[in-house]
Amino acid sequence: MPPRRDDRIILHFDYDCFYASVFEVENPSLKGVPLAVQQKQIVATCNYEARRRGLQKLQLVTEAKKTCPEVVTVLGEDLTKFRDASKELFQYLRSFSWNERVERLGLDEVFMDVSDIIAYNMGLLNYNDLRTAFFNMSRSDPTVGFSFDASVPAGHTFPEQVLPLAEDEEQHWSDPVFIQLRLRLHLASHLAQHLRLLVEKEKGYTSTVGVSTSKLLSKLAGNVHKPSAGTTLMPPYADDLQDDAGIEREKSNVRLFLSNYEVGLIPGIGHKMAHALRSFTLGREAAQSVELNYHKPSESVTVSEILKHPDANPIAFERLLSGHGAQRGIGTRVWQLLNGCDDSDVSQARDVPRGISIEDSYQKLEKLEDVHDELLRLTCSLVKRMRVDLVTDIEPRILDRVSHQKNEPQQRRWLARPKTVRLSTRDRFSSATNTEGERSWARTSRSCPLPSFIFDLGQSVPSIAEQFVTGTLENLFRKLHPDRFCLSLINVGVTDMDNEIDIRRGRDISTMFKTQNDRLSGWRIDTEIPQAMEKTSINGKSMERSDTMELYGSEEDMRLSQSSTKEVESLWQDEDEVDTLDDVDCTLCEAKLPAFAMAAHLRFHRLDS
């Protein structure tokens, strides 16, 4: 087991019934009525009012209406509004972070590492008066924040019964490690509650929050009390809690908290691994659920049952779970997760996603004409998504500098440009037999470079999508399925983002070339030689005109060199992205050379003659 990283404080936000909440925020009259979000013929999710009346996720819409005739169903197949709401909420929570360690998980979950904020406020605490504390939300303004009682945590806790520190006479005031961790968790619980209420007040979304020292524990703690609540996993966390006589003093709350969890509910342990661990613990093949509901297996095995198995150890798990394509050290990793140890960091917040993909599932897709139509529909959604997530307005200061060079300055620009397009499909039946006797859930993929015309903001989305499908995606599809097919899923995505274009840091190379004359005007060496100048002085030495030409080149050399430079600059002014620049032809030998080398090449001809 690696050493615990209990110096961190991590919050996990999970928006309640997110898809349904998006519709409720959009139309407040839907609040308080049973609401179901329909995708295809299935209830993708429903609000808590619908769940109280017997509705469940992944239920057929026809069955849901029989269970609850008054249910209101809304179509949620277009994910655009959900993505936009998720992005808005993420940016809002990110605005409260000091270290930018804010990570989005799916559309409705966010991790925040608030260790620095908590450490700062720990330094402001008055240990003699914890009940009247003030939480400072800004380093620069001591008045920004809220008052709170630091002697007790906010919201729910695990375990439930927690005495205030001021009244807990037995508790560990002599144990500085324990008291420091507990105080930090107290502060974090109040911060979590403050942010949760702000999200509800300002944005209209309720959420549940988990508070602990790792992503694993904070995510699981948040699931204990739903909806619109917060839960803090209280110490002790350590595994070796013994007194001086070697007798176990008390159990670790981490072990106690995880003990009754079904193994399939532990984040990081997938469906196949969970099934293997169940079979390992039972000593036989565990029963498989007929339906694809991994949260309710036919035969449950808890974490404590696995750890109590006499042969349970990292080496045994490695033998059990390793295989083709398995992560190296997977046995040790699973052993750590089952013991509540997770040292993974909250990723740094990103201005652009690592990739964007659009997919849809089908009952049967067997005709090329239907595939073309679906690819066109998915590509339209993908291009729209790219323009939302990867395109931004030009900053006014840059627009002012560029506007004089063009009659119609470009108002929008790309923050990042993906380099690769990937097409993934899932054939309903295995490619080996391609018969209806064997169902397949495996995906196959092909990728290629992304064509540059997709970044043309002047073209309409349908026009770009049509070019993209006919010129790129259909070729990839033929390579994936040269023969008969029966598809149940298509996914189109772009990845391999080129993040070098960052307008805030001034790294847009096209803008750099457009403004270089203004920026470098005070630093240029004037290479023009007046026609009337017969003599000049360099470093105090008088030189004839012919000597000057030896240094700078002939007038013809300089004229050609300057014209070549202007030609190159005009190329950068006319296009936002230029992969390669055309070489310049020598007028004497017709050799192709880079523009910057032409002056030296012409001097070579003159000396040779």
Which H/E stretch holds residue 454? none
- Enumerate residues 6+ apart whose C-beta is below 8 A from 522: none
The Cα 348–Cα 111 span in angstroms is 10
Provide the token pair at 75: 């179509």
Q: How far is CA 227 from CA 28, 40, 282, in A?
A: 18, 27, 35
User: 91 pLDDT band (50/70/90 cuts)?
Assistant: very high
Q: Is the pLDDT of residue 407 over 50?
A: no
Report helix angle 314-321 to 271-282, nearest 10.
120
Q: What is the pLDDT of residues 431-472, one digit of tens each?
A: 444 444 445 567 899 999 999 999 999 999 999 999 999 999
Would you call the peptide bond into 227 cis, given omega within 30 degrees of 0 as the criterion?
A: yes
- DSSP characters for 326-358? PPTTHHHHHHHHHTT---PPPPPP-SS-S-EEE
Residue 240 is predicted with a pLDDT of 54
Provide the token pair at 251: 């159990």
Higher pLDDT, 503 or 209: 209
Q: Is the pLDDT of residue 585 over 80?
A: no
Residue type, 288: Q
- DSSP characters for 78-111? --HHHHHHHHHHHHHHHTT-SS--EEEETTTEEE
CATH T-level fold of 356-505: Dna Ligase; domain 1 (3.30.1490)
Instruction: Determine the average pLDDT of the residues in 595-609.
Output: 71
Higher pLDDT, 366 or 3: 366
Q: Is 275 helix (H, G, I), strand (E, B) or coil?
A: helix
Residue 522 is predicted with a pLDDT of 56
Instruction: Determine the average pLDDT of the residues in 478-503.
Output: 82
Residue 589 is predicted with a pLDDT of 73
Residue 534 is predicted with a pLDDT of 43
User: 164 pLDDT band (50/70/90 cuts)?
Assistant: confident
CB 494 within 8 A of CB 476: no
The Cα 408–Cα 457 span in angstroms is 14
Place of tokens 């909440």: 21
Instruction: State which CATH number among 1.10.530, 1.10.3710, 1.10.150, 1.10.3470 fits the domain covering 259-349.
Output: 1.10.150
Q: Is 277 helix (H, G, I), strand (E, B) or coil?
A: helix
Residue 239 is predicted with a pLDDT of 67
Q: Indicate the average pLDDT of the chain.
A: 80
Range with top average pLDDT, 11-20, 152-161, 498-507, 565-574: 11-20
The Cα 173–Cα 165 span in angstroms is 9
Provide the token pair at 118: 């908590």
- DSSP characters for 371-428? HHHHHHHHHHHHHHHHHHHSEEEPPHHHHHHHHTT-SS---EEES-EEEEEEEEEEES
Q: What is the pLDDT of residues 255-303, one digit of tens each?
A: 999 999 999 999 999 888 999 999 999 999 888 765 544 456 778 899 9
CB 402 within 8 A of CB 512: no
Residue type, 154: A
Lowest mean pLDDT segment, chosen from 179-193, 221-235, 402-416, 429-443: 429-443
Q: Is the pLDDT of residue 503 over 90?
A: no
Residue type, 402: V
Tally of CA atoms within 13 A in the half-sphere of 536 that contains its CB: 17
Q: What is the pLDDT of residues 369-402, one digit of tens each?
A: 999 999 999 999 999 999 988 888 765 544 444 4
Q: What is the pLDDT of residues 207-266, one digit of tens each?
A: 999 999 999 999 999 999 999 999 999 998 876 544 444 444 457 899 999 999 999 999
Sheet order of strands, 72-75 included: 42-46, 35-39, 72-75
Q: How far is CA 562 from the centre of its chain?
A: 47
DSSP 134: E
Instruction: Determine the average pLDDT of the residues in 127-141.
Output: 93
Residue 121 is predicted with a pLDDT of 97
Q: Is the pLDDT of residue 169 over 60?
A: no
Q: Is 447 helix (H, G, I), strand (E, B) or coil?
A: strand
User: Percentage of residues in the chain with pLDDT exceeding 90?
Assistant: 55
CB 418 within 8 A of CB 498: yes
Q: Residues spanned by CATH 3.30.70.270 within the chain?
A: 10-258
User: Phi-psi region for residue 568, left (φ > 0), alpha (ψ -120 to 50) or beta?
Assistant: alpha
Residue type, 532: A
Kindly state which CATH superfamily the domain 10-258 is placed in. Reverse transcriptase/Diguanylate cyclase domain (3.30.70.270)
Q: Residues spanned by CATH 1.10.150 within the chain?
A: 259-349
Provide the token pair at 230: 């917060």
Instruction: Determine the average pLDDT of the residues in 136-157.
Output: 95
Q: Is 81 helix (H, G, I), strand (E, B) or coil?
A: helix
Largest alpha-carbon pair distance within the chain?
A: 102
Q: What is the pLDDT of residues 32-58, one digit of tens each?
A: 899 999 988 899 999 999 999 999 888
CB 558 within 8 A of CB 527: yes
CB 338 within 8 A of CB 303: yes
Residue 40 is predicted with a pLDDT of 84
Residue 171 is predicted with a pLDDT of 53
Q: Is the pLDDT of residue 567 over 80?
A: no
Q: Residues spanned by CATH 3.30.1490.100 within the chain?
A: 356-505
Higher pLDDT, 354 or 537: 354
Going by C-alpha positions, the residue among 206, 234, 317 that lies closest to residue 268 is: 317
Residue 519 is predicted with a pLDDT of 58
Lowest mean pLDDT segment, chosen from 68-77, 485-494, 513-522: 513-522
- Tell how strand 412-414 and strand 391-393 pair up: antiparallel
User: 173 pLDDT band (50/70/90 cuts)?
Assistant: low
- Enumerate residues 6+ apart whose C-beta is below 8 A from 199: 13, 89, 92, 93, 205, 206, 207
Residue 515 is predicted with a pLDDT of 60
Residue 439 is predicted with a pLDDT of 54
DSSP 101: -
